[in-house]
Amino acid sequence: MRSRKQRGLLVLFLLMVLIFPGCVSEPTPSPDEGDNSAKSAPDWFFNTPPEDSQYKYYVGSGTSEKGDLGEAEDIAIQDLIDSIFLYIGVEITSDTTAEARASLEDFQTEITSVVKKKGEAKFSGFEIIEKLPNKKDDGTVTLYLLSRYNKAELEKEKRRIQAAFEERYEAISIPEQEGQSLVGQNRHYNAAIKFIEAAAAASTANVTNREVKFERNLNQAKEAVENISLIPINPGIETFAGEPFPETFQLKVVNGNSEDSPGIADAVITISYPILDNNGKKKTRTKMMKSDDEGYIYFDHPVPEFVGSEKITLSLDMDAYMEQLWDVPAEYDEMVTGLEELIANKRATMEYVVSSNAKNIATGIIMLDLNETAEDYPSSLSGTSILSTLSRNGFSIQQLPLKPRDIKDKGDYVIIEMLKNAFSDRVRRVIFGTARILNYGELAGRVSAKSTISVQVIDLENDEILYTTTINKNGLGADEDSAAKDAFKKLGEAVGEDIKNRLH
């Protein structure tokens, strides 16, 4: 390919020929050479047509020392493309992203296709006007290309390609600048989101010092999160089991560290709270909420079906934004983990107390204990254990003056009628049921007693069964009698605790 310097020397040589014709001899063409004017470098190659109202013009040339016209064409195409790229104003460097490289490769492919096609081929306003080969006596061949590019279409391509090159920087710089502006406005939650976005862009961009850009934005995100606080407004709410809380749990998400600090709107908060499942076991449920325009969260806790002190936990949730960083290169994992832990520590707890009305209601108890052969046990140890457990927790409870054997082998309906007739003037509720030793065994050199208990609580005023449960326990002792006593005691304690927590 002839360089611009070579072209200049050629022009100078031609001028000397014109000025000093006597100094240069002109050979007479041989008869078989014919007219070589079509094979010479065209005038438009040295004097590229000026742009007009519609087109810009570009030229290119390529020489094959082997006389290969295809090779000359490839070189000429690249020379032509380089001229267009000079106008577009981009250059591939080590920083160029894969997307930007791809945009240039697509452009080159389309230009090449137009040049190599025969006939009137075009691409987005680009077309070849003339292709002129020049084969020399020494066997070399040069191909000259003249093209024109519709100016409007060329500007579109220029903007598209430049945008691809600028995108690698803007994807990082724009959100980072926005984050810094938000910090200046004391809007740390929104700033953290922008810094996370910038860090994610830096982690995948093929730019210089991407590690520095990633770490800088992640540190800025940490600083922003540090300034976010979750402020409980009304902890310590009290209610009774089975009754709604008297007020809604309130929390404020702020840029700062007090309720008076500016609130954060649309902050995502995950709320964890306990419930009682159908088996009477506590489980944790979660709910996601967004803060209102003033930064407040208003949470309506479900009606509690348990008794005791509990709490709800409210946590800042930025997973929707952190997801961008979950697939970063491994060398960034530690920094990402540090930000995740900082966010996880942005939480608040609100304690509350659920009491039981049941402890204030007069309650009687009658339990029947049976041995492994279904015979009456000498004493009602399970009933004594239930009574003791509930008494310690403030229940108004008494042992009913009824022989346990009086409820043996009777159906629930008969027992309820018996209890109503005998004790409705003394108690409103009655705990009744049966505990039994199922079998004995050996465990670690001691006697074990496998046992079970079935209990109900009845409201004598309306015949409503308020509570029912079946629990199994193993007792241990030196002999069968001590193992049985241990089993009945454990059964009673378990039922007592369950009634305390569930009955209301």
Q: Among residues 129, 160, 191, which one ends one of the domains?
A: 160
Distance of CA 371 to the CA centre of its chain: 58
Checking if the pLDDT of 409 tops 90, the result is no
Q: What HEC string does 218-242 produce?
A: HHHHHHHHHCEEEEECCCCEEEECC
Q: At what angle do helices 210-226 and 333-344 cross, to 10 degrees?
A: 10
322-354 as b/e: b if 16+ CB within 10 A: bebbeebeeebeebbeebeebbeebebebebeb
In the three-class reduction of DSSP (H, G, I as helix; E, B as strand; rest coil), residue 73 is classed as: helix
Mean pLDDT, rounded, of the chain: 86
> Do both 233 and 222 map to the same domain?
no
Distance CA 181, CA 177 (A): 6
Answer whether residue 11 is part of any domain. Answer: no
Mark whether 252 and 370 lie in a shared domain: no
Residues 74 and 99 in one domain: yes
In one-letter notation, the amino acid at residue 138 is: D
Asked if residue 18 is part of any domain, the answer here is: no
- Does 435 map to a domain? yes
Based on the fold, state whether residues 143 and 102 are members of the same structural domain. Answer: yes
pLDDT digits (tens, 9 = 90+) for 412-452: 888 888 999 999 999 999 999 999 999 999 998 999 999 99
Q: Evaluate whether 76 touches 144 at the Cβ level (below 8 Å).
A: yes
Based on the domain organization, do 390 and 494 belong to the same domain? yes
Domain that holds residue 138: 39-160
Residue 120 tokens read as 């009137």
Angle at alpha carbon of residue 116, lines to 113 and 122, rounded to 5°: 55
3-state class (DSSP) for residue 411: coil
Distance CA 132, CA 126 (A): 18
Count other Cβ atoms within 10 Å, centred on residue 386.
30
Domain annotation covers residue 32: no
The pLDDT score that the predictor gives to residue 44 is 93
pLDDT of residue 31: 35
- Give the tens place of pLDDT for each residue, 364-375: 999 999 999 888
Return the CATH number at 313. 2.60.40.10
Q: Contact at 8 Å (CB) between 231 and 259?
A: yes
Say which residues have a Cβ less than 8 Å from residue 73's Cβ, sequence separation at least 6. 62, 115, 116, 143
Among 145, 160, 175, residue at a domain's last position: 160
Residue 91 has pLDDT above 80, yes or no: no
Report whether 114 contacts 144 (CB < 8 A): no
23: in domain: no
Give percent of the chain above pLDDT 90: 61
The verdict on residue 388 lying in a domain is yes
Residues 291 and 388 both lie in one domain: no
CA dist 71 to 41, 82, 126, 132, 143, Å? Answer: 18, 17, 22, 14, 9
Q: Decide which of 105 and 347 is more confident.
A: 347
Distance CA 299, CA 113 (A): 65
Residues 155 and 203 in one domain: no
Of 275-279, 301-305, 347-351, the least confident: 275-279
pLDDT in tens, 189-237: 999 999 999 999 888 766 666 788 899 999 999 999 999 999 999 999 9
Cβ atoms 61, 145 nearer than 8 A: yes
Does the pLDDT at position 27 exceed 90?
A: no
Statement to judge: residues 102 and 187 lie in one domain:
no
pTM exceeds 0.75 for this model:
no
* Inside any domain, residue 7: no
Q: What is the number of domains present in the chain?
A: 4
- Residue 273 located in a structural domain: yes
How far is residue 231's CA from residue 229's CA, in Å, rounded to a whole number?
6
Is the C-alpha dihedral spanning 119, 125, 126, 130 positive or negative?
positive
